[in-house]
C-alpha cells in the first residue's frame, strides 16, 4: 500500500526506521521540511520511503525542479514503485524535472554511489546498496551529474607551493590554521565564506546558520585545527580548506595514513591566484608530518576546477551520480 502524508501527519518513527543514505530522526525530517512524505507499506511493515520537495528547491535553467530524498528501499519492486509515485506527485504539483536522491539541499545527503572501485569506505562517505541506482533507472531516471572521489598515493610528490605562498604573502594574503580557541567565531566565518563561495555550485541552495553549525560543530572532535587552513585578505577570510584524518582506518585496525579533503572554497574575487593550491599544499605538508602519506579528494563534481590540482598524481577510485527524470 502506498501512502502520502504531510510531515505533521506522518508516523515519523516508522518513516525513519529504514536504513537510508543518512541516519534520519524525526527531528531531522522536520528540520529538512519536506512538502510530502511517501511510504510503501505491507502488512504493517515499511518497504520503502521517500520525501519530496517542490516549494523550496534549487533553480536549474528553465526547469521547475522537484526533489526526491530521504530515500530507502528494501527491494526493487517497492523501491521503483515509490519513485514512480514520487514523480506523479511532483508532476501534479507543476514540476518538470524530478531530481534525486537529494534530502532537500546539496548541503545534506545526496547522490548515489554507483562504482565502488578498489578502496574501502572512508570517513563521512555516503553509502548505499549496490542495487539502488538500478531502482532509479528502472523508474526512468538517468544520471544528471557525476561525482568522483580521487586519491593521491604519495603526498611527498604533490605540488610544492612554497614559492607561490611567499608571493601571495608579499601581496598581502595571510595563511593560517583554524583558531581552536574561538570556535564559535571561526564557524561563523566559515558559514559566511561557504555561503558566498558555493553559491554558483550545481543545484546550490542557501543554508541557515543554525543548520550549518549543527552539521559542522560535531565534526570538530574528529578534525585537527591545523588541518583546516584559512586564507585571509585584509583580515577577512577569503578561502578555506577543511581536511580530516580517515579515522575509519583506525576502526579497521590499520594505521591512519590518509587525510581526506572535505571542503575547499575561495571567494570569486580571489580565484585564479593559487590560494586553493597553497592551502592544499600546507595541509599535505602537515599531514605528512603526522604520518598521513595519502590524500583523498572527496565527492567532487565532474566539472570542479579543484580536480585539476595535482591532476597528474590523482587517481579516481569511486564514482557517484545524481539522477533526474523529466516529468
Distance CA 263, CA 245 (A): 13
List the chain domain ranges: 2-145, 155-292
**pLDDT, tens digit only, all 327 positions of the chain:** 778 877 888 899 999 999 887 789 999 999 999 999 999 998 768 999 999 999 999 999 999 999 999 999 999 999 999 999 999 999 999 999 999 999 999 999 999 999 999 999 999 999 999 999 999 999 999 999 999 999 999 888 877 899 999 999 999 999 999 998 899 999 999 999 999 999 999 999 999 999 999 988 888 878 899 999 999 999 999 999 999 999 999 999 999 999 999 999 999 999 999 999 999 999 999 999 999 999 999 999 998 877 777 677 789 999 999 999 999
β-bridge partners, 126 = none
Q: Is 57 helix (H, G, I), strand (E, B) or coil?
A: coil
Count the Cβ atoms, other than its own, within 10 Å of residue 158. Answer: 21
Tell me whether domains 2-145 and 155-292 share a fold: yes
- Domain 2-145 sits in which CATH superfamily? Gcn5-related N-acetyltransferase (GNAT) (3.40.630.30)
Per the CB < 8 A criterion, the answer to whether 247 and 256 are in contact is yes
Distance CA 171, CA 308 (A): 24
The C-alpha cell at 291 is 604520518
Distance CA 256, CA 72 (A): 32
Burial 234-266 (b: 16+ CB within 10 A, else e): eeebbbbbbbbbbebbeeeeeebebbbbbbbbb
Q: What CATH class is the domain 155-292?
A: alpha beta
State how far Cα 248 lies from the chain centre.
18
Amino acid at each position: 500500500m502506498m501512502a502520502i502524508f504531510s510531515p505533521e501527519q506522518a508516523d515519523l518513527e516508522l518513516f525513519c526506521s529504514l536504513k537510508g543514505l543518512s541516519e534520519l530522526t524525526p527531528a531531522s525530517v522536520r528540520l529538512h521540511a519536506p512538502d510530502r512524505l511517501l511510504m510503501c507499506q505491507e502488512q504493517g511493515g515499511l518497504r520503502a520511503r521517500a520525501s519530496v520537495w517542490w516549494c523550496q528547491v534549487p533553480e536549474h535553467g528553465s526547469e521547475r525542479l522537484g526533489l526526491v530524498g530521504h530515500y530507502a528501499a528494501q527491494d526493487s519492486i517497492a523501491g521503483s514503485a515509490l519513485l514512480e509515485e514520487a514523480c506523479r506527485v511532483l508532476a501534479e504539483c507543476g514540476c518538470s524535472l524530478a531530481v534525486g536522491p537529494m534530502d532537500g539541499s546539496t548541503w545534506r545527503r545526496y547522490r548515489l554511489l554507483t562504482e565502488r572501485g578498489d578502496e574501502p569506505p572512508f570517513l563521512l562517505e555516503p553509502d548505499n546498496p549496490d542495487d539502488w541506482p538500478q531502482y532509479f533507472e528502472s523508474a526512468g531516471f538517468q544520471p544528471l551529474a557525476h561525482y568522483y572521489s580521487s586519491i593521491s598515493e604519495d603526498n611527498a610528490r604533490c605540488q610544492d607551493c612554497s614559492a607561490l605562498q611567499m608571493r601571495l604573502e608579499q601581496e598581502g594574503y595571510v595563511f593560517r590554521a583554524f583558531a581552536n580557541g574561538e570556535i564559535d567565531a571561526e564557524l561563523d566565518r566559515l558559514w559566511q565564506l561557504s555561503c558566498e563561495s558555493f553559491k554558483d555550485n550545481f543545484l546550490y541552495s542557501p543554508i541557515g546558520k543554525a543548520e550549518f553549525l549543527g552539521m559542522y560543530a560535531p565534526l570538530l572532535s574528529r578534525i585537527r585545527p591545523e588541518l583546516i587552513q584559512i586564507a585571509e585578505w585584509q583580515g577577512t577570510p577569503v578561502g578555506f580548506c577543511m581536511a580530516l584524518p580517515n579515522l575509519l582506518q583506525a576502526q579497521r585496525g590499520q594505521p591512519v595514513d590518509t587525510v581526506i579533503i572535505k571542503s575547499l572554497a575561495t571567494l570569486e574575487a580571489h580565484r585564479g591566484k593559487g590560494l586553493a593550491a597553497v592551502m592544499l599544499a600546507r595541509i599535505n605538508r602537515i599531514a605528512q608530518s603526522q604520518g598521513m602519506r595519502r590524500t583523498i579528494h572527496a565527492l567532487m563534481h565532474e566539472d570542479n576546477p579543484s580536480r585539476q590540482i595535482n591532476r597528474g598524481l590523482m587517481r579516481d577510485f569511486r564514482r557517484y551520480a545524481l539522477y533526474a527524470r523529466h516529468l
